[in-house]
Amino acid sequence: MPGALKQWPAWPEFTEGKSEPDPTGELIQYKKEIIAIYGEAAIRSSWLKVCKELEKVTDDISEKGTAAIPEVSYTELFELSPERKQVLKDTGCFVVRGVVSESLASEWFDNLKAYVADNKPNIGGWPSETPFVLRLYWSPTQLAARSHPHQLRLQRELNSWWHDSPTNPTMSPEPLSYADAVRIRPPGVPFFGLGPHVDAGSLCRWADPSYRKVYDHIFSGEPEKHDCYDLETRKDAKQAHFRGGAHSTVLRAFQGWTALTSAGKQEGSLLLYPNVKTAIAYMLLRPFFTAPASEKEIMDASKWTLDTDNGWFPGTWKQDSQRASPTSHPHLRLKECMVNIPAMRPGDGIFWHTDMLHAVETDHLGKHDSSVAYIAATPTTEANNAYMKRQAAAFMNGGKVPEDFTPGNVDHEGEFKGYVGEAGILNGEAGRRAAGIVGL
C-alpha cells in the first residue's frame, strides 16, 4: 500500500456513546423526515449501490496510494485537456506545483516567523498545550499569499469548475479571500486532534433542509447522479446551521493550503481520501443503517438493516466537523485509503473538495518547522459575499479577528508589531476586491 499509513494512529473510534447525544429525539426526527421524503426503498437501494461502488474505489486507492492524488504545475492547470480536468474533478484533490516560487514562499515564511517572534505573548493557537495552528489572520505573509496574482488566478479557475443554475445564476467564480489561520508546526510533537474528517458542517448536512437538498440524488436511490460541483442548491446550504468553531460560514469550493516550507510524509503533513463522490454518499447514508451482529458480515452491505428508531449519527456533532473511523465507517477502508499527499516544496499548493475526508498526520519526525498558509478557493455567492462584508469590516477595524474564529489573547492584530493592514494586499484592485474592501 504505497502511501498508506504503516500504523493507524490512536485516533478515536466512533461508537454510539461517542457522538452527539439525542435526549429529546431531535436526531431521530431528522432521519424520520428524510425517510418520509425519500422512502426506505430508495435509501436502501442507494446504500447497496454505494457500498458496491466503494469496493472498486477502495481497491483502486489502496493500490495506488499517494499516486492516486494528481499533480499538475501551476501553468498546466490552465491548459488541462477536458479528460484530465475530469480526472482532477472526479478525484476531488490535487497538488498544484509552484503556485509561487520557492524563494518567494521562503521569504514569506521568514517574515511570518519574525512576526510571530515579535508578538509571541499575544498569539494564541490550537491545540492549547502545543499551539501550532496560530490564531493569526492578518499577518503581512497571509495577506500577500492570499492576494498574489497567481493565487487569485488559480482560485478563479477552480471556482469555475462549479456550476450554478443555467437560467438564474447568482454565483461568479471571482475569488474571495476568506481569511483563515496559519500553521507553523515544530518537529517532535505528536498531534492527534485531526483524524479523518470532512469540514463544511456536520449534523447540518441532514438537519438543514437546504443542505439536505444538495444530496437529493443520494437519498433518492440514484447516488450515481450526484454532482459534486452543482452550486445551484449548495450555495444556499447552511454550513453553520449549528454554530461552532469548526464550521466556516462560507462555502469553499476547494479547501487548500499553500506550503511555506517543505514537508514530506511523516513531517506533519496532510492525508487525503482521494475520492469525493462515493465517499460523501456513504457518509450521508451510513447513519440510517445498523451493522450486522456478526463481525464476519460487516463488509456485506446487504446484511445491514435500515433502522428508523435510532438517533445515532456516527462521528457527528452539532459543533464539530464530521468525523469518520474504521469501525464506524468500515466500507471506506480508511486504514488503506487515507493516503499521504506527495512531498511538498515551498510555494506548492494542495486543494481538496469541500466534501472530502482529510486528516493531519500525527507525527512530525522531520528536522524543521512545517508551515502552511490555509488558502481556499472561495467563489462569489450571495451568502459568501455577506460574510465577506463582515470579514472586511473586521479587517478595517484594526485587524479584528474574523467572525468565524475565536480571538487569541488580543483580538485586534492592528496592535501587533509589524502589522501593515491593507498595505499588505498585493495585486492592486483585484486583491482589494477579493479581500472585500472595495466599496465597503
Residues near Fe ion (CB under 5 A): 199
Residues 6 or more apart from 135 whose CB is under 8 A from it?
Answer: 123, 124, 125, 126, 181, 401, 405, 406, 407, 408
Q: How far is the CB of 246 from Fe ion (least distance, A)?
A: 8
Task: Let me know: does 38 contact 285? Beta carbons within 8 Å.
Answer: no
Which residues have C-beta within 8 Å of that of residue 288, sequence separation ≥ 6?
31, 34, 35, 43, 47, 306, 307, 308
| Minimum gap (Å) between residue 273 Cβ and Fe ion | 12
- At what angle are helices 26-38 and 40-64 packed, to 10 degrees? 100
* Nearer CB in complex with Fe ion: 43/133: 133
Q: In angstroms, rounded to a whole number, what is the distance separating the alpha carbons of residues 34 and 13?
A: 26
Q: Are 232 and 355 in contact (CB under 8 A)?
A: no
The strand pairing partners of 255, in sequence order, are 352
Nearest residue relative to Fe ion (C-beta): 199
Nearest to Fe ion of 199, 236 (CB atom): 199
Smallest distance, Fe ion to C-beta of residue 356, A: 9
Q: Reading across the β-sheet that carries 197-198, which strands appear in turn?
A: 322-323, 197-198, 358-360, 270-272, 339-340
Residue closer to Fe ion, measured from CB, 199 or 336? 199
Q: For residue 431, count other CB atoms closer than 10 A to its CB.
A: 23
CB of 146 to Fe ion, least distance (A): 18
Smaller CB separation from Fe ion, 378 or 427: 378
Taking the C-alpha atoms of residue 346 and residue 99, their distance in angstroms, rounded to an integer, is: 9
Rounded to the nearest whole angstrom, what is the least distance from the CB of residue 226 to Fe ion in the complex?
21
Question: Minimum distance between the CB of residue 361 and Fe ion, rounded to whole angstroms?
Answer: 13
CB of 143 to Fe ion, least distance (A): 22
* Total residue count of the chain as it appears in this document: 440
Cis? peptide before 346, omega within 30° of 0 = no
Cβ-based nearer residue to Fe ion, 68 or 200: 200
Between 199 and 413, name the residue whose CB sits nearer to Fe ion. Answer: 199
Nearer to Fe ion, 19 or 354 (CB): 354
Alpha helix (H) residue ranges in 334-381: 334-337
| Cβ contact 394:190 at 8 Å | no
Distance, in Å, from the CA atom of 183 to the CA atom of 77, rounded to the nearest integer, reads 26
Tell me whether residue 199 or residue 232 sits nearer to Fe ion (CB atom): 199
CB of 374 to Fe ion, least distance (A): 9
Q: What's the maximum distance between 2 C-alpha atoms anywhere in the chain?
A: 63
**CB 197 to Fe ion: min, Å:** 6
Q: Which is nearer to Fe ion, 199 or 267 (CB)?
A: 199
Tell how many helices (H) and how many strands (E) occur in the chain.
15, 15
Pairing of strands 358-360, 305-306: unpaired
Yes or no: say if 57 and 275 are a contact pair by the CB < 8 Å rule: yes
By beta-carbon proximity to Fe ion, the closer residue of 199 and 208 is 199
| Min separation Cβ 362 and Fe ion, Å | 15
